[in-house]
């Protein structure tokens, strides 16, 4: 993590949060139940909770309950989700009738949130590769009552160019450094070789995503890592190879801007309009988010 | 993609008669059949390009199966319908639910027409059962049954 000292504001605060356990957070699934009705159930069961400031569907459970072992969770009334995982979908802003691709969808937390925000009325392609990952994705889609998703299992690098999408979420596979609070082994940072390899895959995926986006369409690129090689440098790479522009992300929550210089290399100045969310911002994990519009 | 209108009418009729699901429910839902499995989807999905069909693992979620000439609702489907179900509901207390999950069946002495029923616990539909001769048999898939049992064993 030390290599990020220069780019992470409030470094000491950041470090302090990295060593704290994650709070218990969840998203109410309004496809099945209203936040108000679920709050009533929680209250009846003696749960103590508070709603997120930035999203009416997000809750932190502050009482000592196992939120993964309840009938309500089993029924799909809520999804256990970190606060930082809400943000890429909120930036995507899915609407009914839109054709939306979630290119690396498993285990389905963001797919089911896309379905929820579009009131189960968008057409969502939820894609992933690999048998185990698909099982988790399917199980969550069924549990959450998503009727607007088609699940496919293409290698994202070769997703067919047959439909042009209005919006694409590329929550890319990454080194996962932002998950250090779930997995303390990540506190030492990812291996350089791994970062190099995965950034190559990310560059391939983002180019494919832009190719299957319709002109004017929106691509939200996100990772749960801190490495600029997997974040700003991927966007910097693609902006020089595809006709896209970086859109400014307006967020009311605390965050840091994307960086425009890394290890003596100057990056595109518009990367300042991308977003870095660190653990101390939302008392959550770390994420990076960029929003691109395809020009032609 | 093509839907099967004949099957759809059969499904609508079955769910109206058996569970009281009104016609209005189908404004925003339809059923797409692949072989004997009926998937509940938003009708907008029917506009998909057929070119994707070979790699599609799932559409919406499994809602009903065709078994010979009859239909069998899935537990996913009945849970989704939830409070919309007005008929053929079997209300279970905690003891009943534990027993049906453990043993696969319970004795149920209330008068019902034989056929599939919605298992209801604490105001929530938790899955599908089958009623016949004063016996209700659980139809919830094994893995889901096991995980629900683990949860309710922790309840007092």
Same domain, A168 and A287: yes
Tens digit of each residue's pLDDT (9 = 90 or more) over A127-148: 999 878 899 999 999 999 999 9
- Furthest CA-CA distance within chain B: 52
> Which H helix or E strand runs over B131?
strand B124-132
How near does any CA of chain A get to the CA of B9, in Å?
A: 19
Average pLDDT of the residues in A259-267 = 95
Total tally of structural domains belonging to chain B: 2
How near does any CA of chain A get to the CA of B90, in Å?
A: 17
How near does any CA of chain A get to the CA of B150, in Å?
A: 8
Q: Quick check: A218 pLDDT over 80?
A: yes
Average pLDDT of the residues in A187-213 = 94
Total tally of structural domains belonging to chain A: 2
Are A134 and B151 inside 8 Å of each other by CB?
no
In chain B, residues with a C-beta closer than 8 Å to the C-beta of A147 are 29, 40-42, 60-61
CATH assignment at residue B149: 2.30.130.60
B38: domain range? Answer: 4-73
Are B49 and A163 inside 8 Å of each other by CB?
yes
In chain B, residues with a C-beta closer than 8 Å to the C-beta of A142 are 61-62, 76
- Which pLDDT score, from 0 to 100, does residue A30 have? 98
- Which pLDDT score, from 0 to 100, does residue B48 have? 67
- Which pLDDT score, from 0 to 100, does residue B51 have? 46
Same domain, B99 and B136: yes
* Neighbour-count burial of B9, counting CB atoms closer than 10 A to its CB (0-12 exposed, 13-18 middle, 19+ buried): exposed
Same domain, A109 and A40: no
What percentage of chain B carries pLDDT values higher than 90?
76
The model's pTM is: 0.96
Test the B interface: residue of A97, A135, A142 with most B CBs within 10 Å: A142
Say if B80 falls within a structural domain.
no
Q: How confident is the model at residue A238 (pLDDT cuts 50, 70, 90)?
A: very high
A65: domain range? Answer: 23-81
- Which pLDDT score, from 0 to 100, does residue A290 have? 98
Say if A66 falls within a structural domain.
yes
Say how many Å lie between the first and final Cα of chain A, rounded: 39
The conformation of residue A224, written as its DSSP 8-state character, comes to S
Are A121 and B47 inside 8 Å of each other by CB?
no
How near does any CA of chain B get to the CA of A135, in Å?
A: 10
CB contact set of A30 (below 8 Å; sequence gap of 6+): A57, A116
CA distances from B113 to B11, B89, B128 (A): 18, 11, 15
Are A71 and B79 inside 8 Å of each other by CB?
no
Tens digit of each residue's pLDDT (9 = 90 or more) over A47-103: 999 999 999 999 999 999 999 999 999 999 999 999 999 999 999 999 999 999 999
**Which member of A147, A160, A162 has the closest CB to residue B40?**
A147
Say if B78 falls within a structural domain.
no
Say how many Å lie between the first and final Cα of chain B, rounded: 49
CB contact set of B1 (below 8 Å; sequence gap of 6+): B32, B45, B46, B47, B48, B50, B53
Q: Tell me which of A183-192, A268-277, B70-79 is least confident.
A: A183-192
* A71 interface with B at CB cutoff 8 Å: yes
**What is the pLDDT tens value at each position of chain B, 156 positions in all?**
445 667 889 999 999 999 999 999 999 999 998 888 999 999 988 876 654 566 788 999 999 999 988 999 999 999 999 999 999 999 999 999 999 999 999 999 998 999 999 999 999 999 999 999 999 999 999 999 999 999 999 886
- Furthest CA-CA distance within chain A: 57
What percentage of chain A carries pLDDT values higher than 90?
92
Say if A254 falls within a structural domain.
yes
Tens digit of each residue's pLDDT (9 = 90 or more) over B111-149: 899 999 999 999 999 999 999 999 999 999 999 999 999
Say if A1 falls within a structural domain.
no
- The mean predicted confidence, pLDDT, of chain A is 95
- Which pLDDT score, from 0 to 100, does residue B130 have? 98
Average pLDDT of the residues in A33-42 = 97
Sign of CA dihedral A250, A251, A252, A255: negative
> Is the distance from CB of A30 to CB of A57 less than 8 angstroms?
yes
Q: Which of B20, B46, B73 is the last residue of a domain?
A: B73
CATH assignment at residue A194: 3.40.50.150
A18 is catalytic: no
Query: What is the ipTM for the molecules in this complex?
Result: 0.94
Same domain, B57 and B92: no
């Amino acid at each position: 993590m030390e290599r990020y000292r220069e780019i992470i504001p409030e470094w000491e605060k950041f470090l302090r949060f990295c060593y704290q356990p994650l709070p218990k957070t969840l998203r109410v699934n309004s496809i099945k139940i209203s936040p108000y009705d679920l709050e009533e159930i929680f209250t009846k069961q003696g749960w103590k909770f508070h709603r997120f400031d930035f999203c009416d569907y997000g809750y932190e459970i502050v009482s000592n309950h196992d939120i993964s072992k309840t009938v309500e969770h089993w029924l799909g009334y809520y999804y256990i989700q970190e606060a930082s995982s809400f943000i890429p979908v909120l930036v995507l802003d899915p609407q009914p009738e839109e054709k939306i691709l979630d290119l690396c969808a498993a285990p389905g937390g963001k797919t089911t949130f896309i379905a929820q925000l579009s009131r189960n009325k968008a057409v969502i392609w939820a894609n992933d590769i690999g048998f185990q990952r698909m099982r988790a994705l399917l199980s969550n889609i069924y549990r959450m009552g998503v009727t607007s998703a088609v699940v496919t299992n293409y290698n994202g690098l070769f997703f067919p160019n047959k439909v042009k999408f209005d919006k694409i979420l590329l929550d890319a596979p990454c080194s996962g450094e932002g998950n250090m609070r779930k997995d303390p082994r990540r506190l030492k940072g990812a291996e350089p070789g791994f970062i190099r390899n995965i950034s190559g895959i990310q560059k391939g995926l983002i180019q494919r995503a832009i190719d299957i986006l319709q002109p004017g369409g929106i691509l939200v690129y996100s990772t749960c890592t801190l490495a600029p090689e997997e974040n700003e440098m991927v966007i910097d790479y693609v902006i020089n190879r595809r006709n896209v522009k970086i859109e400014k992300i307006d967020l009311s929550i605390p965050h840091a801007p994307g960086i425009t210089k890394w290890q003596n290399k100057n990056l595109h100045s518009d990367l300042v309009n991308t977003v870095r969310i660190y653990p101390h911002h939302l008392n959550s994990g770390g994420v990076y988010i960029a929003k691109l519009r395809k020009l032609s | 993609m093509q839907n099967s209108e004949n099957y759809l009418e059969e499904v609508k009729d079955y769910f109206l008669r058996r569970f009281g699901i009104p016609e209005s429910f189908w404004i925003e839902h339809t059923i797409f059949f692949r072989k004997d499995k009926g998937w509940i989807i938003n009708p907008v999905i029917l506009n998909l390009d057929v070119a994707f069909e070979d790699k599609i693992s799932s559409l919406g979620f499994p809602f009903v199966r065709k078994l010979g000439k009859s239909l069998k609702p899935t537990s996913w489907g009945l849970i989704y319908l939830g409070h919309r179900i007005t008929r053929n509901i079997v209300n279970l207390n905690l003891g009943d639910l534990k027993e049906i999950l453990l043993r696969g069946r319970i004795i149920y002495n209330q008068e019902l027409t034989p056929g599939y029923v919605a298992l209801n616990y604490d105001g929530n539909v938790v899955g599908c059962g089958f009623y016949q001769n004063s016996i209700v048999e659980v139809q919830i898939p094994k893995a889901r049954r096991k995980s629900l049992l683990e949860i309710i064993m922790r309840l007092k």
